Chains A and B, each alone.
Chain A
Amino acid sequence: MKQLLLGDEAIALGAINAGLSGVYAYPGTPSTEITEFIQNNKVAQERGIHSRWCTNEKTAMEAALGMSYAGKRALVCMKHVGMNVCADAFVNSAITGVNGGLIVLAADDPSMHSSQNEQDSRFYGKFALIPIFEPSNQQEAYDMVASAFELSESMKVPVLLRIVTRLAHSRAAVEVGELNGQNPLNPSTDQWVLLPGIARKKYVDLLGKQAEFVKASEASSYNKKEGARGKEQGATMGIIACGIAYNYVKENVSDKADILKVSQYPLSPEVIKAFAAEHDTILVVEDGQPVVEETIAGMIGADYPIKGRLTGDLPRTGELTPDCVAKALGLPAGPAFENAKNLAGRPPQLCQGCGHRDVYTALNQVLAEYPDYRVFGDIGCYTLGALPPFKSLSSCVDMGASITMAKGAADAGLFPAVAIIGDSTFTHSGMTGLLDAVNDKSNITVVISDNLTTGMTGGQDSAGTNKFEAICLGLGVEPEHVRVVVPLPKNMPEITRILKEEIEYNGVSVIIPRRECIQTAARHAREKRK
C-alpha cells in the first residue's frame, strides 16, 4: 500500500514496521516529526513503544544504547547539532558495540533553515568508524530503516542514518511493507565495560570490522552505477551523487550519464578507483560538507581532477538546488524572471501576546539604566529577541550557553551579566552551568522564561515543567533569589522592580517569568472543547 509521507514520517513508520521497541529524542528541526509520528501511531501505542521526549540528546543516546544492550531495537533521533551533545556516548557506542539493532538518526540542516551551523553528520559516522546510510528519497528512507537495523545486528555496531532538511520535510508516496515482530528481552552477555584494557581490545575489534563494512557497501542495493559508458564511449566525466544529491543530478541529466549513486558508506576504495579509471574527471555532488570529495582524493590521488564544493564548481555553503547542480554539470540556465523590485525580507517574529515579549520589554527597560550590560541568549523562540523591536541579545551559541557565558563574562568583571534561557533549554543543558555559577557565587542574573513547553519545535512537552524552583533550590540558588513572575503587560511594574533588585544582588539570582505559550494554550483549549 502506498502512503503519502514526509521523509521523517517514512523513517518513523519504517522503524515501527521493523520491530522498534523505543525511540529516544529531544525535539530539533528537522528531526522532530519522527518521534511525533511514533507518539501518535496506533500500533506504537498498542505495542508500548517508548516515545516520550528525553531531556537532551545525550540522555536519549544513552537510553537507546541501554535498550540495545537489553536486546531490543532502538532509534535515537536528533538534529545535526544534537550529535555534538551526544558525541561522547555516540562515539563510545561504536566501541562497546550493540546487541539489539541501534540506529542513530541525524537530520542535517544545510542552509541553516533553523540552525546555527551546517555541520555534516557523515563526519561523525566516519569519526566513530561505523556504517552510514543516506537515503536519496522517502522510499529509501523507509526501506533503509529495516536494512540499517539488520546491518547493526549482524555487525554488532550502531548505524548512522543521515538525512537533510529537504528529505525530512518533503512528502512523497511510499510503498509501505508489513509489520514485523519486536525482539525479545535478551540482555547482552558481552563485555561493555570500557576500562582501558578492554577498550583497547574492543577498538581493535571495531577496526577489524571495517573491511566487512566496505563489503556491505559494495553489495548494497542502495549503491549503484548508472549509465556506465565510460570515457571510451564519450562519457569523460563521472558523477558521484550522494544521498539526496542523486535527485538533483537526475533532474538535470539524461539516463545515459555516468552516475555512481552513493547511499551507503563507508566508500569502497576499489569502486571509487575503478570509477576514476573509467573517466577523466569526477564531479562529486553531495549535500552538506565535502566529505566524499575529500575522502576520494585520498583514494585516487591528488593529481586526479575532482570537481565539487572545494573547487567552487558547486557552492561551498548552503543546500544543493537543481540550479546549482545544473551549473556544475555545465548546463545553461533556462529563461527566468529577475528578482522582484518591490520586495522586503519578512523574518520570523515572536507571536503577538507571547510572554517572551513581556520579558524583553521589562529587561530592556531595566537594563537601559546600566551603561555596560550584556544579555546572553540561548536557543528557542526567544532567540528572536535579538531582532527588532527588542534587539536585546548579545549572543546565542548553543543549548545552555547563556548561563555559562554570562558566568564567564561576570568572572571577567562584566556587570550586569544577564542570561536568558527557555524552560526546555534550561533542563537540556542549563542546569550544570547554573551549578558552576552557584559554586563560584558568580554575579549573574538568570532569566528562565518558562512557557511550559518546547515552543520553537511546535510545542512538545518540556522535561522540567513544574520543577524549576525545586531544581534551582536543589542546585543551591538561595531561596530569596529564586523569583517567579507572570509576564503580562499589567504586571510590568512588579517585573521590572524584581529584575532591578536581582541585578543589584551580588550573586546568582534566578527569575522565572512563567506563562504558557499562546500556541500551546490555544491547542489545549481546542482539545478541551472536544
Chain B
Amino acid sequence: MKKDIILCGVGGQGILSIATIIGEAATEAGINLKQAEVHGMSQRGGDVQSNLRLSTENIYSDLIPQGGADVVISMEPMESLRYLPYLSKTGTIVTSSKPFVNIPNYPDEAALMAELDSMPSVVKLDIESVAKDTGNVRGANMVLLGMAAPFIEILTVEQLRKAISVIFARKGDAIVEANLKAFDAGVAASKQ
C-alpha cells in the first residue's frame, strides 16, 4: 500500500508541522517515508509545498509523479489548485476554504471556489473558524490534519493522534490537549 500526499500553503502557515506529525506516526508504525520540504527563500510569504510519500514498499523518488498524489492537503484554497497536475484522477483535495490574499492579482473568489467544487473529490472547511471555536486560534493546521486523517488511510486516526501527543509533549499537556481538540474537530467535520 502507498499514499502520496502533497502538503501545501503559504510560507508561515505551518505545513511543516503537519509533515512532522505524519512523519512521526509513519516512523512509529514502521511505514517507509520520504518527505521533500521547501526551505530558504520560498518560505517568505510565498507558496510552499512538501511532497510526502508513505508506503509499505520501498520508496525511490523523493518527488511525487504527475497524476500520482492520493491527497492534496492545503492550508489555502488557491494553493490547493496549484498542484492539480499532481493529483491522481481518483485523489482527494482537503483544503481550507478561506483565501489568504497577500498578492494584488488573487483570482476571483467565486470562480476559484467554483473550480475547486468542480473537482471529483473535495473536502473544504473554514479551518481558522473551527480552530477558534475549539479555543485554539493557532490550531488551524491541526484542524486540517484532522480533516485529512480519514483519507491518509495508511495511518489510522488514532496513530496520528498519538503522534500529535509525542510531537507537542515538550510544550506541555495544555498545548497537547489544545492540538488534539483541534485535530478531533477536524476529524468530526470531515465525517459530515
A residues apposed to B, CB below 8 Å: 2, 4, 6, 29-30, 32-33, 113-114, 166-167, 169-173, 244, 246-248, 250-251, 321-323, 326, 333-351, 381, 384, 388, 456-458
Please state if B33 and A334 are interface contacts (CB–CB under 8 Å).
no
Please state if A244 and B40 are interface contacts (CB–CB under 8 Å).
no
Q: Which of B32, B46, B63 contacts A346 (CB 8 A)?
A: B46
Cβ-based interface call for B115 (8 A):
yes
Cβ-based interface call for B192 (8 A):
no
Q: Which residues of chain B come closer than 8 Å to A458, judged between CB atoms?
A: 39
B107 to chain A, nearest CB (A): 4
Please state if B103 and A344 are interface contacts (CB–CB under 8 Å).
yes
Q: Given the complex of chains A and B, what is the CA–CA distance between A244 and B62 in angstroms? A: 9
A348-B44, A384-B44 known; A342 vs B65 contact (CB < 8 Å): no
Q: Given the complex of chains A and B, what is the CA–CA distance between A172 and B44 in angstroms? A: 25
Q: Could you tell me how many residues of chain B have their Cβ less than 8 Å away from some Cβ of chain A? A: 50
By Cβ-Cβ distance, the 6 closest A-B pairs, closest first, are A336-B67, A29-B40, A348-B46, A340-B81, A114-B40, A348-B44
Please state if A347 and B46 are interface contacts (CB–CB under 8 Å).
yes
Q: Scoring B residues 10 to 47 as 1 if CB is less than 8 Å from chain A, else 0, what string do you get?
A: 11000000000001100100001111111111111111
Please state if A33 and B61 are interface contacts (CB–CB under 8 Å).
no
A336-B85, A456-B41 known; A346 vs B65 contact (CB < 8 Å): no
B73 to chain A, nearest CB (A): 16
Cβ-based interface call for B132 (8 A):
no
Q: Given the complex of chains A and B, what is the CA–CA distance between A359 and B109 in angstroms? A: 34
B30 to chain A, nearest CB (A): 9
Q: Given the complex of chains A and B, what is the CA–CA distance between A124 and B186 in angstroms? A: 51
Q: Which residues of chain B come closer than 8 Å to A166, judged between CB atoms?
A: 36, 62-63
Interface centre among B62, B78, B82, B108 (most CB of A within 10 A): B62
Q: State which residues 84-119 of B face A: CB under 8 Å.
A: 84-87, 89, 102-108, 111-112, 115
Please state if A337 and B37 are interface contacts (CB–CB under 8 Å).
no
A315 to chain B, nearest CB (A): 14
Q: Given the complex of chains A and B, what is the CA–CA distance between A33 and B78 in angstroms? A: 30
Main secondary structure of the interface of A (DSSP, over half): loop
Q: Given the complex of chains A and B, what is the CA–CA distance between A523 and B107 in angstroms? A: 34
New A-B pairs, 17, CB < 8 Å, besides A114-B40, A170-B37, A457-B40: A32-B39, A169-B36, A171-B34, A172-B32, A247-B62, A322-B61, A322-B65, A335-B67, A337-B89, A338-B84, A338-B85, A339-B85, A340-B82, A340-B115, A346-B46, A347-B46, A456-B40
Can you show 15 pairs from A to B with CB atoms below 8 A apart?
Answer: A113-B40, A170-B35, A171-B37, A172-B59, A247-B62, A251-B65, A322-B65, A333-B67, A334-B65, A336-B86, A342-B78, A342-B112, A343-B107, A344-B106, A344-B107
Please state if A348 and B67 are interface contacts (CB–CB under 8 Å).
no
Q: Given the complex of chains A and B, what is the CA–CA distance between A247 and B36 in angstroms? A: 14
A113-B38, A171-B35, A349-B45 known; A247 vs B84 contact (CB < 8 Å): no
A311 to chain B, nearest CB (A): 23
Please state if B23 and A171 are interface contacts (CB–CB under 8 Å).
yes
Q: Which residues of chain A come closer than 8 Å to B111, judged between CB atoms?
A: 341-342
Number of A-B residue pairs with CB-CB distance less than 8 Å in the complex they form:
150
Q: Which residues of chain B come closer than 8 Å to A321, judged between CB atoms?
A: 63, 65
Cβ-based interface call for B56 (8 A):
no
Please state if B66 and A333 are interface contacts (CB–CB under 8 Å).
yes
A169-B39, A171-B34, A337-B84 known; A348 vs B66 contact (CB < 8 Å): no
Please state if A349 and B67 are interface contacts (CB–CB under 8 Å).
no
Q: Given the complex of chains A and B, what is the CA–CA distance between A335 and B104 in angstroms? A: 33
Please state if A167 and B78 are interface contacts (CB–CB under 8 Å).
no
Q: Which of A33, A172, A173 contacts B39 (CB 8 A)?
A: A33
Please state if B103 and A348 are interface contacts (CB–CB under 8 Å).
no
Please state if B45 and A169 are interface contacts (CB–CB under 8 Å).
no
Please state if B115 and A341 are interface contacts (CB–CB under 8 Å).
yes
Q: Which of B34, B87, B102 contacts A172 (CB 8 A)?
A: B34
Q: Which of B36, B41, B47, B85 contacts A337 (CB 8 A)?
A: B85
Please state if B62 and A170 are interface contacts (CB–CB under 8 Å).
yes
Please state if B39 and A29 are interface contacts (CB–CB under 8 Å).
yes
Please state if A4 and B65 are interface contacts (CB–CB under 8 Å).
no
A170-B35, A173-B32, A322-B65 known; A113 vs B78 contact (CB < 8 Å): no
Q: Which residues of chain A come closer than 8 Å to B35, judged between CB atoms?
A: 170-172
A340-B82, A342-B111 known; A172 vs B33 contact (CB < 8 Å): yes
Q: Given the complex of chains A and B, what is the CA–CA distance between A244 and B107 in angstroms? A: 37
Q: Which of A2, A114, A248 contacts B61 (CB 8 A)?
A: A248
Q: Which residues of chain B come closer than 8 Å to A113, judged between CB atoms?
A: 38, 40-42
Q: Which residues of chain B come closer than 8 Å to A4, judged between CB atoms?
A: 23-24, 27, 33
Please state if B41 and A349 are interface contacts (CB–CB under 8 Å).
no
Q: Which residues of chain A come closer than 8 Å to B61, judged between CB atoms?
A: 247-248, 250-251, 322
Q: Given the complex of chains A and B, what is the CA–CA distance between A251 and B4 in angstroms? A: 13
Q: Which of A333, A341, A348 contacts B11 (CB 8 A)?
A: A348
Please state if B38 and A346 are interface contacts (CB–CB under 8 Å).
no
Q: Given the complex of chains A and B, what is the CA–CA distance between A348 and B78 in angstroms? A: 16
A118 to chain B, nearest CB (A): 15
